[in-house]
Amino acid sequence: MAEPGETTWDVEALLSDALRPIDPPERLFGRIEGTFTALSAAAATELSDWAEELSESEMRALREPRNWVRPVVAVGVGGVATGALVLFELRRRGRHEANGLKGLAAGVRDRF
Amino acid sequence: MSGPEENVEPAQLAPAKKAELDRAFEDFYRAHLRDVYSYAYYRVGNHHDAEDLTEQAFLQAYRHFDRARRESDGRPLRPWLIRIAHNLASNYYRDRSRRPQTPLDSADPIATRHDTEDLVAGREELRQVMANLEHLSDDRREALIMRFALGMDNREIARALGRSDGATKVLIHRAIKQLQEEMEGPEDG
């Protein structure tokens, strides 16, 4: 494929030199992984809280498979937090203290 | 099952499907983190905002990853990802009514940790080309960032910018020509 600027190779060489790819800082890996982990934790917390608030009759209704679609949909429409990623959870588990994780999760949710 | 046109939030997927999606996204994330970060940095001009933008881009990408894979027909998803970062960067400027306030080769302490010392190591030509890059229109500058910082070809850039291949080729050609003319002209401020 013919590349543009065939007669301007010097500028292209300068651009190649000037616009080098930039390695992200190491902390960014941890930050993004932490965000996804926090979202997962937030989703799990929401599910847990939601289950604890159910009355006995609601729990009985939940045991009925014909009703299972409703909680699934409810979780689905819960927003970004319930769309959370479990990507790095196992790897990250234990690296955060509970309070720190909760704070991080709250912070992430606040942003949405 | 969901059709190709509808987006399904990851949490709505069946567990096995979601696990597969998560594994695929992890690979995708690791493969393209540097691309997104480089693009973000050259767009916003500082590492702090580049980190924010990169994180937001991957969060948004994750939400639509399943649909993007279904609609990609096997084509690489990098242009789609860079388009997300591109849109976020545009919103960044619109929301904050600002452009990069300092040259990219300024004395940013973090920059020195990313092997960009050469930008300021007496290479006046590099300094000049970076300054002139800021004189280009947004679309020209973005196309050059994608070409040279990310190594994207015309077709990828076209997809990322939502243009035709031909229009993208012309865009890049004109961007380089303008830079050439600026480099050959008198240096300004």
CB contact under 8 A, B29 and A35: no
**A15 neighbors B144 (Cβ within 8 angstroms):** yes
B25 chain-A contacts, CB cut-off 8 A: 85, 87
Mutation choice for A interface testing from B81, B120, B150, B179 by most A CBs within 10 A: B179
Tens digit of pLDDT for each residue in B7-26? 777 777 777 777 888 889 98
B62 chain-A contacts, CB cut-off 8 A: 36, 83, 85
ipTM reported for the complex, 2 dp: 0.76
Q: Which of A56-65, B32-41, B144-153, B156-165 has the lowest mean pLDDT?
A: A56-65
Q: What is the mean pLDDT of chain B?
A: 82
Q: Residue B53 has what pLDDT?
A: 95
pTM: 0.67
CB neighbour class for A57 (10 Å; exposed up to 12, middle 13-18, buried from 19) = exposed
Radius of gyration of chain B from its Cα atoms, rounded to whole angstroms = 18
**Residue B184 reports pLDDT greater than 70:** yes
Q: How far is A59 from chain B (nearest CA, A)?
A: 21
B179 chain-A contacts, CB cut-off 8 A: 8, 11, 15
**Residue A112 reports pLDDT greater than 80:** no
Chain B CB within 8 Å of residue A84 CB: yes
Q: Residue B100 has what pLDDT?
A: 53
Tens digit of pLDDT for each residue in B87-130? 999 888 776 655 554 445 443 433 433 445 544 444 678 888 88
**Residue B5 reports pLDDT greater than 60:** no
CB contact under 8 A, B125 and A83: no
Q: Which of A19-23, A58-62, B129-133, B161-165 has the lowest mean pLDDT?
A: A58-62
In angstroms, what CA-CA distances link A66 with A59, A71, B99, B104? 13, 11, 55, 59
B115 chain-A contacts, CB cut-off 8 A: 20, 23
Q: Residue B33 has what pLDDT?
A: 96
**Residue A63 reports pLDDT greater than 70:** no
Q: Residue B185 has what pLDDT?
A: 74
pLDDT band at B74, cuts 50/70/90?
confident
Q: What are phi and psi of B163, to 5 degrees?
A: -120, 170
Chain B CB within 8 Å of residue A14 CB: yes
Domains and CATH numbers, chain B: 9-99 (1.10.1740.10), 118-189 (1.10.10.10)
CB contact under 8 A, B12 and A75: yes
Of A11, A23, A36, the CB nearest to B129: A11
Q: Which of B19, B14, B17, B6 is nearest to B64 (CA)?
A: B6
- Using DSSP, how many helices (H) and how many strands (E) does chain B show? 7, 0
Q: Residue B42 has what pLDDT?
A: 93
Q: Residue B76 has what pLDDT?
A: 92
Q: Residue B182 has what pLDDT?
A: 87
For range A54-78, the mean pLDDT? 52
